[in-house]
Amino acid sequence: MSFSACLWAVAAGALLLSARVDRARTRQALRVSWTAFARIAPIMLGIVGLIGLILAILPPAFITDLFADRNVWSLIAVASVGAITIIPGFIAYPLAAALMRQGAGLVPVAAFITSLMMVGVVTAPLEGQLFGRRFAFVRNALSFAAAFAVALGMGMILH
C-alpha cells in the first residue's frame, strides 16, 4: 500500500471514529472544512494552472540554465525568487519535482523551495507591524541564509 493510500485510510478511520463519537459535531466539521475548501480551491487551481503555463512556455533549457548547479548567481537568483513568491507547500513541492524533471539542479531547487517556505519578503511589512521591523528583518535575513545552508547541505548529502 502506498503512503498516500495509508494517509487516506487513516483519515477515513479517524472520520468514522469521529462520527461514531459525535455525529452532529462531525457533520459540522465537514461543513466547515468543505466551505474552506470551496473558498481556497479556485485560488489553488489558478496557481497550479499558472505554474503549468509557465513550465509549458519556458523552454527546458531556460529552466536548466536558471536552476544550474554550476553558477552561484543563479543560486542567489532562484533563492531570491523563492523569497518573494507566495506559494503553499502542497503546490511548491510538486513544482520542485517538475523543475527537477525538466533538468533543474538539486541545490538551486532546494534553495528555491527553502527560501519560498521560510522567507517572506511580501509578508514582511505585516510581520514588522506585528513583531517589530527589526525582528522581521533579522528573521528573514537568517531564513535567507539558512536557505543556502540547507541547499548546500542537501547537495553534499544527496549528490
pLDDT attached to residue 21: 95
Residue 154 confidence (pLDDT): 92
Distant-in-sequence, close-in-space partners of 82: CB < 8 Å, separation ≥ 6: 111, 112, 113, 114, 115, 116, 119, 147
pLDDT tens sequence across 112-133: 999 999 998 888 888 898 899 9
Instruction: Please report the pLDDT score of residue 81 as a whole number.
Output: 87
How far, in Å, are 7, 35, 107, 145 from residue 153 at the CA level?
A: 29, 41, 8, 12
pTM of the model: 0.68
Digit-coded pLDDT (tens) for 91-107: 888 888 888 888 888 99
When pLDDT is cut at 50, 70 and 90, the band that residue 25 belongs to is very high
